Amino acid sequence: MTDLVLSESLAAARTRLADALNAAGRPADGARLLAVSKTKPAAMIREAWHLGQREFGENYVQEALDKQAELADLDPIVWHFIGPLQSNKTRDVAGHFAWVHSVDREKIARRLNDQRPAALGPLDICLQVNISDEASKSGVSLEALPALAEAVQALPQLRLRGLMAIPAPAEGLEDQRVPFARLREALEALRERLPGAPLDTLSMGMTADLEAAVLEGATLVRLGTAIFGERSVRE
């Protein structure tokens, strides 16, 4: 996609999400688009912002901080941290993001809570679940999820909003739906367990599997390639 025209790809992504919601029989505002801008320049984020996009997802802390500094004049803008999070980066994330989707252990949650500047209000949290049971290193297991959710729910500077997953790649709508259904069921179970928590978020669906995720109730789809084009090497 060397000749990507961002206005066209963003419009196509919006149409794709709207069509998926419609096909699922869900309301048009049932899911939001998170524009995943990792490895892409600040200028592309600025352009997307001027096209009305407000929520952006980043994976690498230093890269994100550099872009945020360059884009400090854009208001409102909502930054989501969606990448693997190491202990030594929690302070930067707690101070510079509105959301973190990749919390998968209590130690990280506690550090984010302790390091969240009070003036910013609570940090919105999704717990990342290892839903495909692959050899994937990130994500809490379904078995350990309830205890982690209860621990996070008890931390005052964190607001537990829901669950996130990156399933193993699968071909075809029906196969893609299976892990997303599992994540939806896990969220439903958590709602019963933690009646006070504002558990309104299922962060699931990427460029390859948005439709399957929306069919299973995604409320926040994370689109990178579909909006910004292919990423070069790096990953």
Binding site for ligand PLP (CB under 6 A): 36, 38, 59, 82, 166, 206-208, 222-226
Residues 6+ away with beta carbon under 8 Å from 231:
38, 39, 40, 224, 225
- CB 58 within 8 Å of CB 82: yes
Give the CB-nearest residue to ligand PLP: 224
The distance of closest approach from Cβ of residue 145 to ligand PLP in the complex, given in angstroms and rounded to an integer, is 18
Q: Which is nearer to ligand PLP, 138 or 157 (CB)?
A: 138
The distance of closest approach from Cβ of residue 154 to ligand PLP in the complex, given in angstroms and rounded to an integer, is 26
Dmax (CA) for the chain in angstroms is 49
Rounded distance between C-alpha atoms, residue 30 and residue 24, angstroms = 10
Q: Which is nearer to ligand PLP, 35 or 160 (CB)?
A: 35
Q: Which is nearer to ligand PLP, 3 or 235 (CB)?
A: 235
The distance of closest approach from Cβ of residue 200 to ligand PLP in the complex, given in angstroms and rounded to an integer, is 19
Q: Which is nearer to ligand PLP, 44 or 208 (CB)?
A: 208
